[in-house]
A and B are shown apart, each in its own frame.
Chain A
Amino acid sequence: MRILCTILIASALAACATTQAPETQPPAGVEDRTPGAARPAPGTQGVPARPVTGVDLSGGKPAAAGADPLRDPANILSRRSVYYDFDKYDIRDEYKPAIEAHAKYLREHSSIKMLIQGNTDERGSREYNIALGQRRSEGVKRMLLLLGAREEQVEAVSLGEEKPKETGHTEEAWTRNRRSDMLYPGEY
């Protein structure tokens, strides 16, 4: 077990080492809205105008597509979500069969990739919740890898409290939002 973990960590580090250097965004389509700001007058104290300009990223979303066994309600592969207690990230036993089934699916479809999104309820800090959501998704990922999925197939990310499935401020909504989702291409 420890050796396996060490190998996994080593491979994770190796994957990091090959990560491409971050690139800056292309400047395409950005309008400079700096208004003709007046300059302070000499002699007396000036008050600088303070222009602000922005970037608009709102727009269409990529279309989604699905694969059958993954969508069939009778198939365990349609079960994608793992739920958690407040501030916890351990995987309860009831979710292990579904994770095992997805590990098997990933083993049998070595070209297929999975994205795991970790989520939290809205309470507490957004940033702590990002870290907690990552811990949740990493926990699912680690289990998939232990069950034979490959590192390159599975990416774990966190949405923190930012993308709640339920938008209410109730215990029920919070319960549904403390969740990891296992997603295949076209589903996110």
Chain B
Amino acid sequence: MRNLLAAFLVLGAACSAHAQLSIEITGAGAQRIPVAVAPLAGEGALLDGSNATISAIVRADLERSGLFRGLEIPRLVPQPSEASSVNYAEWRSRLADALVLGSVAARPDGRFEVRFRLYDVLKQSALGGVAYTLTRDQVRATAHRISDYVYEKLTGEKGVFSTRIAYVVKRGERYELQVADADGANEQAMLVSGEPIISPAWSPDGRRLAYVSFQNKKPIVYVQDIEVPKQQIVANFKGSNSAPAWSPDGKRLALALTRDGTSQIYLVNPDGSNLQRFTRTSGIDTEPFFSPDGEWIYFTSDRGGSPQIYRMALRGGDAQRVTFEGGYNVSPRVSPDGKSLAYIARNSGRFQVTLLELATRQAQVLTDSDLDESPSFAPNGRQILLATIVAGRGVLTAVSADGRVKQRLTVAAGDVREPAWGPLNQ
């Protein structure tokens, strides 16, 4: 068997270039901040792989968030830069609330310097700026950093444009665990297999993924470093091994095992050592998820006769039931601020992402689809990425936590599923 397995471990992700996620915005916020991202002076000399300019990438980022409206800007002569004096009246007449000006300059060492400044047009003041030194292959990453800066200055929240997402693509009988930038660019395969792959989960430092692979004909939990193409087995016991979730400090994984009977929740070190049983019931307990303070594990259990969400303190004590409405509530994910819970609820036969505010117990259905799965919060809590079926195909949808802003992420000739949004500061 091990020889057989070795045969499958053939060369890695050369197959990554062919189809990236494409993103379509299907709903936007009611109040969008009009922002003018002027072409950076000299940016034509520094394009990304798809010939996009930095200003175009920044504008697309901001628009995709659903919170901004990018303004059309005519060709300006002379092209303004962050060093220009700003004609606020002119930008106000273009209806801009905010303005980004900047420049690109080649350095003698072959690298480039990108500078930009952000202005509040209404208050007629500069909000700040940054200079970056970069090589040609860092154009997109730099643009996302600028977007993060603008987003944070204007909304007060962290931007997530520099984060990455993981997801699984199924093409025919082939399964690909992919990692891409949050805008779908730079898709690269972590794992390609003829058997299913599910439940990718980012380590808190963004350097590793835990996931479940059926490559040995049954679910086994692995951890894999993003930069090292080598799988490490975390749990391979009798029965099913699945549902990995990282503790906030990255030192423990919670997972579901059936080694002692029905599915129960266990804790284990990421290298597979120090296994410890966490739940003890005769029913199904699965889908553990740590609260951000690391003190609770939320999970799905059918101990009450139907699958519902419960939580139990790490230091012990009885499980507390969290969901009460409806007969099928699964896949709990606590928001990064710990205040709300996203999960999948069955409503009149439809499976939909629902957001529960934990303090008030107010629940809101966020989608209008029928077969939602696997919700995943953006690390700023603003959006939830989920998998659903549209016209018979698996797609990802990103929905804002107020349900207003929606984007759809698809791949050509394949089903996308099992999204996991990575952490900040990767």
Listed in ascending order, the chain A residues whose CB lies under 8 Å from chain B are 9, 12-13, 15-16, 19, 22-34, 38, 40-41, 43-62, 87, 122-128, 130-135, 138, 155-160, 162-163, 169, 188
Contact = CB atoms under 8 A, between A and B. Distances in A.
B132 A53 contact: no
A33 B243 contact: no
A134 B239 contact: yes
A55 to B, nearest CB: 5
Interface stretch (B11-19, B24-32, B77-85): B11-19
B138 A49 contact: yes
Contact of A162 (B11, B196, B237): B196
Contacts of A128: 284, 286-287, 300, 307, 330-331
Q: Is the interface of B mostly helix, strand, loop or mixed?
A: mixed
Contact of B237 (A16, A58, A87): A16
A123 B371 contact: yes
Interface in B306-332: 306-307, 328, 330-331
20 contacts: A26-B9, A44-B132, A50-B186, A52-B226, A53-B13, A55-B191, A56-B9, A56-B13, A56-B192, A57-B194, A57-B195, A60-B7, A124-B330, A125-B330, A127-B286, A128-B286, A130-B219, A138-B258, A169-B371, A169-B392
Interface of B: 2, 4-16, 111, 113, 130-135, 137-138, 141-142, 145, 164, 174, 177, 179, 186, 188-196, 198-199, 212-215, 217-219, 224, 226-240, 242-243, 256, 258-263, 272, 284-287, 300, 306-307, 328, 330-331, 344, 346, 351, 371, 373-374, 389, 392, 418, 426
A44 B229 contact: no
Contacts, number: 267
B242 A38 contact: no
Nearest to A62: B4
Contacts of A123: 346, 351, 371
A135 B141 contact: no
Contact of B15 (A47, A56, A122, A163): A56
- Residue among A22, A58, A163 having the largest count of chain B Cβ atoms under 10 Å: A58
A55 B179 CA distance: 13
A162 B12 contact: no
A49 B186 CA distance: 11
A14 to B, nearest CB: 11
A131 to B, nearest CB: 4
Given A55-B191, A122-B371, A128-B287, A87 B306 contact: yes
B10 A44 contact: no
B287 A33 contact: no
Contact of B141 (A50, A56, A188): A50
A40 B226 CA distance: 19
A154 to B, nearest CB: 11
A83 B194 CA distance: 26
Contacts of B261: 9, 12, 138
Given A15-B238, A33-B12, A138-B261, A52 B256 contact: no
